[in-house]
Amino acid sequence: MTCRIWNGVFHLIAASLVGAAGMAPAIASADTPPPARQAPVLVDGSHDFDFEFGAWRAHISRRLHPLTGSTDWADYDGTSVVRKVWNGSADLGELDVSGPAGRIRGLSLRLYNPQTRQWNISWSNAADGVLTPPMVGGFTGSRGEFYNADTLNGRAIMVRFIFSDTDKPVFRIEQAFSADGGQTWEANWIATFTRA
């Protein structure tokens, strides 16, 4: 499955909605200046992916036909190796897994943007050799969330990527799609990584 991603749209919309949701309606006269808004404190996340450097045993469960009502899944097992680039502000991950449904060899490229203090994650499958536009997001504690807009079979969708339990020797990544603007999500890629 190859998806073309419309970079950053969901992230920008979500950030705008979160900002707007936090503002209480106010009545101001022409002589009253608007209340000052405090800028969010940006945290340096340039080492958020340090936990993943090295070799891992990988187990992948992949929904074969996302957003169709299908419950058919395929399982894969293999390895993942993540290498530090630019002193950890970028990294390359190599995934090589196989199962009854075939083999997946993938490359993930993760780049930290020091201005926005967010990560960009792109993916390439060896089957097509195309690097996807990035998903954008970051970490709070041991949980990372990344979002983007995309298309699936010509249909506009939202994509969510969640890293969890990154402070443990076994962590998980879940990818989910939404066809209703993020109101509901359907998982289609569940990966568990165990330190080799």
| pLDDT above 60: residue 72 | yes
Among all chains, which residue has been given the structure tokens 């979500």? 14
Among all chains, which residue has been given the structure tokens 């939202």? 158
- The partner residues of 109 in beta bridges, in order of sequence, read 92, 122
Instruction: Note whether 150 and 6 are within 8 A (CB).
Output: yes
Alpha helices in the chain, H assignment, sequence order: 9-21
Instruction: Supply the pLDDT for residue 40.
Output: 58
- The partner residues of 96 in beta bridges, in order of sequence, read 79, 105
Instruction: Supply the pLDDT for residue 31.
Output: 63
Instruction: Supply the pLDDT for residue 80.
Output: 98
For the chain, the structural domain boundaries read 44-195
- Per CATH, the number for 44-195 is 2.40.128.20
Residue percentage of the chain with pLDDT more than 70: 79
The Cα 121–Cα 67 span in angstroms is 23
Contacts of residue 66, defined as CB under 8 A and 6 or more positions apart, other chains included, come to 1, 152, 177, 186, 188
Query: What is the pLDDT of the chain when averaged over all its residues?
Result: 85
Task: Kindly state the tokens that stand for 113.
Answer: 């943007």
The Cα 96–Cα 104 span in angstroms is 6
| pLDDT above 80: residue 110 | yes
Of residues 61, 83, 58, 65, the one with CA closest to residue 74 = 61
Contacts of residue 101, defined as CB under 8 A and 6 or more positions apart, other chains included, come to 62, 64, 74, 76
For residue 128, give the amino acid letter. Answer: D
pTM: 0.77
Task: Kindly state the tokens that stand for 2.
Answer: 């190859």
Higher pLDDT, 22 or 166: 166
The radius of gyration of the chain's CA atoms, rounded to the nearest angstrom, is: 19
Q: Which band of pLDDT confidence, cut at 50, 70 and 90, is reported for residue 132?
A: confident
pLDDT in tens, 20-58: 344 344 444 456 666 666 655 668 899 999 999 999 999
The Cα 186–Cα 51 span in angstroms is 27
Q: Which band of pLDDT confidence, cut at 50, 70 and 90, is reported for residue 19?
A: very low
Task: Kindly state the tokens that stand for 86.
Answer: 């630019």
